[in-house]
Amino acid sequence: MKKAATISGVVLGGFLLFAGTAAMTSEPLDGEKLAQERCTQCHGFGRVERAMAEKDPAAWEATVDRMIGKKSGLLNEEERAAVLGYLVNR
Ligand code: HEC
């Protein structure tokens, strides 16, 4: 019986861990914070800010995809959308 209790403990623990992760990923991503974190790894944020004045949404999409092309895994699908939302709506 002790073994069964251990197993259900592991299963419950696994479920709580899963629920916690799901809750975290469903939180809206902060596009501004993400951009400041990820888009300053190779150049300053100034380059991003200067471009905000002139790029339209399509241009930003092309630029962000080009940056992801330089470093695979830079942004996942959700993060890319959040960063684009920030860049386009400023
Ligand atoms: C792996 C390094 C790297 C990362 C990470 C990176 N960039 Fe760049 N970025 C570059 C390089 C190199 C250039 C200059 C060459 C070019 O334009 O392709 C550049 C140029 C730019 C330019 C100026 C050129 C243009 O098209 O207006 C902008 C704007 C820009 N990056 C935005 C971003 C944004 C937004 C992010 C985050 C999503 C980002 N970068 C992340 C390397 C990077």
Asked if 87 and 60 touch (Cβ cutoff 8 Å), the reply is yes
Give Cα separations from 43 to 19, 28, 35, 83 (angstroms).
Answer: 37, 26, 12, 16
List the one residue out of 11, 55, 9 whose CA is nearest residue 83. 55
Dihedral angle sign, alpha carbons of residues 53, 54, 59, 63: negative
Q: Taking the model in full, what pTM does it have?
A: 0.80
Q: Is the CB of 41 under 6 A from ligand 1?
A: yes
pLDDT 10s digits, 37-71: 999 999 999 999 999 999 999 999 999 999 999 99
More confident residue, 54 or 10: 54
Residues 43 and 80: beta-carbon distance below 8 Å: no
The set of residues, in sequence order, having a beta carbon less than 8 Å from that of 21 and lying 6+ positions away, is none
Is residue 80 a contact partner of residue 42, using CB atoms and an 8 Å limit? Answer: no
Measured in whole angstroms, the distance separating CA 36 from the mean position of its chain's CA atoms is 12
Q: Please, what are the domains in the chain?
A: 2-88 (1.10.760.10)
Asked if pLDDT for residue 13 goes beyond 60, the answer is no
69 vs 1, higher pLDDT: 69
pLDDT over 90 at 17, yes or no: no
Among the atoms of ligand 1, which is closest to the Cα of residue 64? 38
Ligand 1 pocket residue status of 84, Cβ below 6 Å: no
* Residue 80: predicted pLDDT: 98
What is the residue-averaged pLDDT of the chain? 85
